[in-house]
Each structure stands twice: as structure tokens, then as C-alpha cells.
Amino acid sequence: MQNSNEGHLQIRLITKQQIYAVPDVPLSVPQTIDGNSLNDLVNQLLKESNSDHLKPKNFDFLAIGELLRVPLIEHLAERNISTETTVEIEYVEKTPAPEPKDSLLHDDWVCGIEATEKWILTGCYDNSVNIWSTHGKMVASLKEHKNIVKAVSWIDKSDPNRGFISVSHDLIGIIWSYEDGTDSAAPKALLRGHERGIDSLGVSPNTARLATGGWDTNLKLWSTSLDDDGSEHVHKKIRSTNNIVTKTPLHTLKGHKEAITGINWIDNYAVSTVSMDHTIKFWDAELCGIKNEIVGQKAYLSSSWSSINNTLLASSADRHIRLYDPRSSEGSLCKVTFTSHSLWVSSVAWSNYDTNLFISGGYDSSVKMWDVRSSKAPLYNLQGHEGQVLKVDWSNKKYMVSGGSDNSVHIFKNKHV
């Protein structure tokens, strides 16, 4: 660096968290300064600013919009940023590490999970649908399916009394009634129409519709109401002796060439799907056609839509997680690629309260917590699984939940909320 202050850089420290603000003046720091040293510096400046009541805090640092994970000079060099300018570095209170809480033992692999405020729904390879409390107590185990249960979902996560849905490789979906806080759950309706195993499931934001997809490559839309039978076939609802309704799809949407592995509702009228056929498709659920398509390089294994930042995460059979912005009008729709897993990434889930956080699970037995502003390294590796992680869920902001081929569900407490 050709200047009189050899080996140093000029920085300005800024924060949106005013309680931790330090004087807004340029500072000269060593080129090799890293996050740990910056953390010491900010805490020292806070102490000098008469913030005697503040205990030392842990901060993360953003330079050029990305979290600092290497010495500052390397961070700037990787982004072709001149060392002659004053670098603005934003600091934020560091997200604390999630805390392992409970392990819920099942009789077989766990591949479906969705939590509410108090309950965790799981789907298992032993054909069972299970309800647990978030404190680790088994509430009910239901065995109406005749094959593995691949996905489960509450109809309305804010009101468990609305019931829940399960889909299976027995070609059937079941809408269940549930009495909140009891073991009282029973099938209300059978969803019949798929010709091969059902793998994926999603409920619309207004809870009026649900979508299913699987190995027959078809996306099927259904009503969650037992009274709405505007199905694509003229078909009377059949009530069996035990008063269970049989429903047929409202619509069948064709377009994928291989199994549909993930379904997300964008809003009440649009659905996204990811597939083993290397494509992501965006569907108009009213007109029943494809609105947009993204073609990838590998089979997609899972997806998660964020209604906060309107972007889609998708994981592939290549160890990577990609963030797509379907509204983008410039450059690639893939905005960031996250790489840390050593094997296929089987499941991803956005945080529903923070624009930057998500979790992932992979065949490498690991669950990772990420910040989108750090693509090369996760915030934390969450340990505990001894087999492939098949599903992760962050529907309850207090708990991250994961299930896998070690027959267990792990609950991690989020200390950030």
C-alpha cells in the first residue's frame, strides 16, 4: 500500500443499534484487523464513551454488505475494494448460538416436521404421524397411513384446532381434525388423485388451499374445506361409514418431468415448486399455468420461501444452497450460493422473523444456521445427529427443529428472541 501510513487502513464504525453507537470519526487500524480485534475495539470505545453500564458485547461486522470472516485486507481484496478509501464497517450485536434442548426418539427415520407455538408435528418412515410438545413430550402417534409419511403441515399454525395434513408414499393425503393439547386426532378427509408417492406439501397463507406434489410429477391443488368440492372431476364426496370425506383435486398442474420435492406458496394465488428435474417453477394457482421457470444444474431437493424478503432458498444434490430473487430484472436470478455442507443438502428453512437468517440440514449429519450476508461459512454448526438430516423446520421462532435417519428429532432453542 503506497501511503504514509504503511500497514494501516482508515475505517469508520457505524451501527443502526443506537445504544451501541460510538463516535462517528475515521479510525486508523492495522490492515490485518479481524472481527475479534474489531470487537475489542468497539467495546473499548463504548467504555470510553461513558457507557459504564454496558457489559462487553459480542458484535459481528459488515464490510461491503458482507460479514467479515477473514482479516479486513483479505475481505477488501476479494471484492476488489481499494485500500486508499475510508471503509465503512457496520457492526450488529452477534446472533447467539442456539442451545440444544431435547431429542425426540422415534421408531424410524423422520422426514416430515412442522412446529407451532406449543406442538411439533412429525412424519415418519414407520408410517406414523406424531404430535409432540415443544418440551419433548409425546402427545399422540397416529398410524392411518400404509407407507412412509413424507411431509406434514398444520392447516393454520396459529390455531392447531384447525387440524393438520399428512402426505405419504401410499398415494394418500389425510386432513386430520385435532383438539388442541389433547391426543384427540382423527382423519377427516382423504385426498385421492396422485398416482405415485407424495413427497411435498404446502398450505396457502389464507389456509383455504393446499398443494401436493410427488413422484407422478404432478402438482395438485386442493381445498382445505370439507364443504368445497369444486374438483376438476364431477365427483360426489364419498362418506364412508366412519364419516371420512374422500376429496379429489381442484386442479392438476402438469409441467415437471420428475418428482416434485418442495412446494411453497408465494401468496394466496401463486405457488413455487422445486423438482428432481433441475427446475424451479412458479405457478399461477388461479389460471393454473406456469408463470416463470428457473433451470438449474442439479436435482433440487428442498426449498423455502421468505415472505419477509420475497426470496426463495433451494438446495441441490451438489452440496450447495442457492438464494433466488424471482423479481430480479438484472443479472442472474441466483443472487447468492452458500457452501459449507460436505454432502447433499436435504432441507432448508427460512427464519420467519429475520430477513437474514435460515437453517439447513444435510446428509453429512449437520444442521447449520446461516446469515445470508456470509455465504462461505455458517454462523453455527448445530451438532447432535448421528445420521443423515432429512428435514429442518423453523416455523416456531423460538425453536429450530431437525429430523433424520438416526430416528430422532432434535430441538435447538433460539436465544436470539
Say yes or no: 255 and 400 in one domain: yes
In this structure, what C-alpha cell is assigned to residue 278?
433441475
Counting the structural domains of the chain, the total is 2
Q: Determine the pLDDT at residue 241.
A: 45
- Residue 369 in this model has a pLDDT that exceeds 60: yes
pLDDT bin (cut points 50, 70, 90) of residue 402 is very high
If you average pLDDT over residues 208-232, what whole number do you get? Answer: 86
- Residue 231 in this model has a pLDDT that exceeds 70: no
Tens of pLDDT, residues 6-41: 689 999 999 999 989 999 899 999 999 999 999 999
Say yes or no: 222 and 127 in one domain: yes
Question: Which residue among 35, 58, 93 closes a domain?
Answer: 93
Q: In residues, how long is the chain?
A: 417
Question: Which residue among 42, 70, 93 closes a domain?
Answer: 93
Say yes or no: 87 and 104 in one domain: no
Burial of 340 (0-12, 13-18, 19+ CB in 10 A): buried
Say yes or no: 65 and 165 in one domain: no
Concatenated DSSP letters for 310-343? TEEEEEETTSEEEEE-TT--SS-SEEEEEE--SS
CB 280 within 8 A of CB 267: no
Stronger pLDDT, 233 or 64, i.e. the higher one: 64
Q: Is residue 275 part of a domain?
A: yes
Q: Is residue 320 part of a domain?
A: yes
Taking all residues of the chain, what is their mean pLDDT, rounded to a whole number? 93
Q: Determine the pLDDT at residue 328.
A: 86
Dist. CA 241–CA 219, nearest whole Å: 30
| H helical segments located in 152-253 | none
Say yes or no: 69 and 106 in one domain: no
Q: Determine the pLDDT at residue 2.
A: 39
Say yes or no: 64 and 197 in one domain: no
Q: Is residue 1 part of a domain?
A: no
The CATH number for 48's domain is 3.10.20.90
Tens of pLDDT, residues 259-305: 999 999 999 999 999 999 999 999 999 999 999 999 999 999 999 99
Tens of pLDDT, residues 181-212: 888 999 999 999 999 999 999 999 999 999 99
Q: Is residue 3 part of a domain?
A: no
Q: Is residue 395 part of a domain?
A: yes
Q: Is residue 171 part of a domain?
A: yes
Q: Is residue 2 part of a domain?
A: no
Say yes or no: 224 and 250 in one domain: yes
Range of the domain at 75: 8-93
The dihedral of CA 180, 181, 186, 191: what is its sign? positive
If you average pLDDT over residues 334-355, what whole number do you get? Answer: 96
CB 46 within 8 A of CB 20: yes
Q: Is residue 409 part of a domain?
A: yes
Longest CA–CA separation in the chain, Å: 89
Pairing of strands 119-124, 129-133: antiparallel
Say yes or no: 363 and 247 in one domain: yes
Dist. CA 211–CA 213, nearest whole Å: 7
Say yes or no: 67 and 113 in one domain: no
Say yes or no: 41 and 144 in one domain: no
Q: Determine the pLDDT at residue 228.
A: 55
Pick from 53-62, 157-166, 322-331 the range whose average pLDDT is largest.
157-166
Say yes or no: 64 and 168 in one domain: no
CB 168 within 8 A of CB 198: yes
Say yes or no: 55 and 172 in one domain: no
Q: Determine the pLDDT at residue 313.
A: 98
Q: Determine the pLDDT at residue 5.
A: 46
pLDDT bin (cut points 50, 70, 90) of residue 53 is low
The CATH number for 244's domain is 2.130.10.10
- Residue 355 in this model has a pLDDT that exceeds 70: yes
Question: Which residue among 93, 118, 142 closes a domain?
Answer: 93
